Amino acid sequence: MSVRTYRQIQRRQSRLIHVGAVPVGGDAPISVQTMTNTLTSDVAATVAQIKRAEAAGVDIVRVSCPDEDSTRALKDIVAQVSVPVVADIHFHYRRAIEAAEAGAACLRINPGNIGSSDRVREVVKAAKDHGCSMRIGVNAGSLEKHLLEKYGEPCPEAMVESALEHAKILEDNDFREFKISVKASDVFLAVAAYHGLAEACDYPLHLGITEAGGLIGGTVKSAIGMGNLLWGGIGDTIRVSLSAPPEEEVKVGFEILKSLGLRTRGVNIVSCPSCARQGFNVVDTVALLEKRLAHVTAPVTLSIIGCVVNGPGEARETMIGLTGGGGDNHMVYVAGTPDHKIDGDAMVEHIVQLVEQKAAEIEAAKAKE
């Protein structure tokens, strides 16, 4: 079996929608989202947080709009950021209308929870008038009472049925510019629900393991759950839900996509865990390189291996490689072949320069396409 064969992921075919200028679904790249945790009414703090997420590469940002102060602030927030903003709305239809008027690119709202059919029509009209898409967001922790009575507990079937009920309300109002999520904190429940929904409709799916936890635990749960779905071709946009700064969610999201070959943003470092054979301190070197290379957005592959056991082999597969040698004399690989040696004192600065140079070459070639 060739490498190309076993790395192929056949994505589920979904319809294409737009969140502002960002395409979601169809053949569009899988987008990475996050959500602010500031008071939305605090414009300066919210904008600063979104800017940090933008620097990490975020495609879409969601902000909560629970009250009029929040929707009033939304207009100023949207004007100061570069990425499309999703307004998170729960229950109150007026907030949805205000958010659409304030420039939200998307409304996260469940139409079945905002009251009468007249209210739904008003929200749909506002979305159409202002070019908003929507996200139907089903959560295992807040399923409708009639579904809990029918199924007895949150289960994949109940979550899918909830999503399709909300979708039908929008379809009945001739609105189809929406994506759907069926999130749960239980990995098995979330994955099963997404599989059921993927079979039941062709709308783009927003993936997430909700309330996943802190940076380490939440990263693991999200990687297992979303990685499972993405590997199976399911998912058009993702959000890693962490009890951590939003930019950390973005970084983890890109790492998940990069590991599956679905996005190629930034430096992908292949490094060993280190052992007594290491010719230099691998752990400290990698930590320093991650900080020094955080600004690079071009898809550069870099291997940092402490000794010659696996170093040459890993270096053959990366654009730039570093392998620990005897004493203070380490081998630098370029394009998979041994190129020159470098001593430990100059090592980090030299690798940074090589990566930045390679990134510039990639960007220049891309500009000519």
What's the angle, vertex CA 173, arms to CA 169 and CA 179, rounded to 5? 60
Q: Is 275 annotated as a binding residue?
A: yes
What does the chain come to in residues?
Answer: 369
Q: Is 307 annotated as a binding residue?
A: yes
Q: What is the DSSP string of 196-261?
A: HHHHH--S-BEE-BTT--SHHHHHHHHHHHHHHHHHTT--SEEE---SS-HHHHHHHHHHHHHHTT
Long-range contacts of 289-296 (CB under 8 A, 24+ apart): 289/348, 289/351, 289/352, 292/348, 292/352, 293/266, 293/267, 293/352, 293/355, 293/356, 294/266, 296/266, 296/267, 296/355, 296/356, 296/359
The token pair that represents 66 in the structure block: 């629970």
Q: Is 272 annotated as a binding residue?
A: yes
The token pair that represents 179 in the structure block: 């994506």
Q: Is 349 annotated as a binding residue?
A: no
> Which amino acids are annotated as binding site for [4Fe-4S] cluster, given as ranges?
272, 275, 307, 314
Q: Binding site residues, as ranges? A: 272, 275, 307, 314
